[in-house]
């Protein structure tokens, strides 16, 4: 019930390409019991920001009114990694957190076919896997036209809270629209 909300939330995103990227942000009015209303959107082009410096950004909302105030810092980090299963694990230094978690995403089997190849017929999927721990989100590559994909990737996360839940989700990549959900598993760290 405010037009001037203060969230004070922090999100950590991990980039694996030097050329930066674009962060898409949308703002919504949450309505209990009915569809949320769209308020506006903005984009942050990370390639325009200098590294190792905190930028205060006031981004006007497109397709709406008002602005979003953000603090954005681009900094080097070796804490969260993704590598091939055949690669040796990177060394960790100065870990101030609870510890670290290494997740090996080897393969999936007998996935649901989600792509239409003919009239009302489904025969394949283009699966990729998303592994999330708190605000850390890492993705595998997409294996095209395969219901039994092999990714063979190693994901390493810092553990900030032992009560966190590891979420592993498989999606079907779709170039024309948003990815289709194929399945999900949630694993409380306390159960590992």
**What residue segments make up the domains of the chain, in order of their start?**
1-80, 99-191
Q: What is the DSSP string of the chain?
A: --SS------------STT--EEEEEEEE--TTSPPEEEEEEEEEGGGS-TTSEEEEEEEPBTSSSEEEEEEE-----SSEEEETTSPPPP--S--SSEEEEEEEEE--SPPP-EEEETTEEEE--EEEEEEETTEEEE----TT-SS-EEEEEEEEEES-TT-EEEEEEEE--TTSSPEEEEEEEEEGGG-
pTM listed for this prediction: 0.54
Low-confidence residues of the chain, pLDDT below 50? 90-95, 119-120
- Determine the pLDDT at residue 20: 65
Note the CATH number of domain 99-191: 2.60.40.150
Please state, rounded to an integer, the average pLDDT across all residues of the chain.
Answer: 82
pLDDT digits (tens, 9 = 90+) for 75-131: 766 556 666 766 555 444 444 556 888 899 999 999 988 866 554 455 688 999 999
């Amino acid at each position: 019930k405010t037009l001037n909300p203060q969230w004070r939330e922090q999100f950590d995103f991990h980039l694996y390409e030097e050329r930066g990227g674009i962060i898409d942000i949308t703002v919504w009015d949450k309505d209990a019991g009915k569809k949320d209303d769209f308020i506006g959107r903005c984009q942050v082009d990370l390639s325009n920001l200098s590294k190792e410096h905190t930028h205060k950004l006031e981004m006007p909302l497109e397709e709406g009114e008002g602005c979003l105030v953000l603090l954005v810092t681009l900094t080097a980090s070796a804490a969260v990694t993704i590598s091939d299963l055949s690669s040796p694990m990177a060394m960790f230094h100065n870990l101030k957190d609870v510890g670290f978690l290494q997740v090996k995403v080897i393969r999936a089997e007998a996935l649901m076919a989600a792509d239409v190849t003919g009239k009302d017929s489904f025969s394949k999927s283009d699966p990729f896997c998303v592994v999330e721990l708190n605000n850390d989100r890492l993705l595998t590559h997409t294996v095209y036209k395969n219901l039994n994909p092999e990714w063979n990737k190693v994901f390493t996360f810092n553990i900030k809270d032992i009560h966190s839940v590891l979420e592993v989700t498989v999606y079907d990549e779709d170039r024309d629209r948003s990815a289709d959900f194929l399945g999900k598993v949630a694993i409380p760290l306390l159960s590992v």
